[in-house]
Amino acid sequence: MASIFELISDQKTPPSYKFFSRGKWWQSKSGKLTEIISPVDSSILGRLQVVTKEEIDQAIGDACRGQKEWEKLAVDKRAKILHLAADWVREEEHFLSTLLVKEIGKTIDEAKSEVLRTAEMIDLFAQEVRTLRGETLESDLFPGFEKGKEAIIDRVARGVILAIAPFNYPLNLSASKIAPALVTGNACLLKPPTNGGISALHLVRIFEKAGVPGGVLAALTGSGSEIGDYLVTHSGIEMISFTGSSQVGKSIAQKAGMIPLLFECGGNNPALVLDNANLDLAALEIVKGSFSYSGQRCTAIKYLLATSETMDKLIPKLKKGVKEKVKMGDPRSPRTKMVGPLINLDVAMEIENRIIKAKVNGAKILTGGKREANYLEPTILDNVKPTMEIVKVETFGPVLSLIRVKNINEAIEIINASEYGLQASIFTQDEGTGIALARKIEVGTVQINSSPQRGPDHFPFLGVKASGVGVQGIRYTLEAMTRPKSVVLNKPE
């Protein structure tokens, strides 16, 4: 284990990882531990503490006190700490990539990409915060008011931000919350995922090593069912940044009350292929968009809509793309491409059941469909109906459903009838038509001639309906994690 991480665990095999609070690493007084099971080979990678309510209270109390002093620190000094953290992430790239492969089943290339992108994102937050400024307004700009009032509007920290990260990008989507929270003067409490929790703890250790003072950052471990409700309803929490399923997101929003929320939830993203599309490009992007990281991404393509004529031309290209570009196997092997294990056996069995139900109700399996343990073959289903569970509910695995439509209007109706609204893809060689159709689709982002994706990270990233609340992206997240504070000067003539 890398030397900068030596305080995190008890160094046994497998180790028990400590939680981070009040500037130190602790074993919980609960005595409870949660096992982290590798999806690759079912080995026990380690155990996480299950913190108590009293330990949560202590962490939040310390964060409330520490945040006040942290906000007083010059922005440039906070930014320099983030830059150093980014350098540490790069320094530990091999260690972190190897850990991601074991802990969440990413391929080697996917894991390395997450680590390096995380470092770049931390740097970008540190750079962009220097441009975040307030403004001044004069009263005579508004009809009916004369000179004599001036509003000085600053952007100030919100306070203590609770960050809840998912298993599929435990480094990147933890850093996307921690970095902007800290650099804008907030304290941050991270609730790591279970699988992915070890990776997230190492990231917290990096921020600590880079110089984030005790009390300003904490990592509180335990399953959502054990500590989630207490965290999201705690009076000391002043904002929640969450990435996860729509179901959990809705539950948190209902419980959290009147505090700001920044949520990225389920995607269930469609791809619409028009008759004039470049089908070779479409097939390449759809295969990549559907099967990267075994489809366990909120931005994965889940279903494809096209007329029967276009679908018949596209299917051979999709099957060829799966054969040539996708290789299911042990993610530790460089031969494996895109599809490794699903995060656990329960998820794999649930998706297999949805495939079986779809087949019983008339869908046709074109590729894949078979499961061994928690490894599920990359699967393409034809003749899928919009009412089938396989597409009506987000299927977080390597499954692409093909829906044949009579025309574009029918396709738009199907897309807009979904409860989800994260992203959609349109494939066409007529950009004007693509833009016109994009404006009719009720999602946060429409990609033209590309698969859905989160980046570039300075672009706005958002969902509508059940897919999210608020806008993320470098500048947008910094603004979301601060608030305007107005001081009005009254200067009588």
- Burial class, 87, CB count within 10 angstroms (exposed 0-12 / middle 13-18 / buried 19+): middle
Catalytic residue among 264, 285, 377, 394: 264
Question: How much of the chain is helix, strand and coil, in % rounded to 5?
Answer: 40, 25, 35
Structure tokens at 467: 């897919």
Half-sphere exposure in the Cβ direction for 387 (13 Å, CA): 2
CB 225 within 8 A of CB 215: no
> What is the distance between the alpha carbons of residues 45 and 15, in angstroms, rounded to a whole number?
7
> What is the distance between the alpha carbons of residues 388 and 361, in angstroms, rounded to a whole number?
8
Residue 298 known to be catalytic = yes
60 phi and psi, to 5 degrees?
-70, -40
Catalytic residue among 103, 298, 377, 394: 298
Identify the sign of the CA torsion 202, 162, 167, 10.
positive
Angle at 170 between CA 174 and CA 265, to 5 degrees: 75
Residue 265 known to be catalytic = no
Contacts 24+ apart (CB under 8 A), 24-33: 24/214, 26/55, 28/52, 28/55, 29/54, 29/55, 30/55, 32/222, 32/226
Of 425, 192, 416, whose CA–CA distance to 300 is shortest? 425
> What is the distance between the alpha carbons of residues 341 and 37, in angstroms, rounded to a whole number?
12
What amino acid positions are annotated as catalytic residues?
Answer: 264, 298
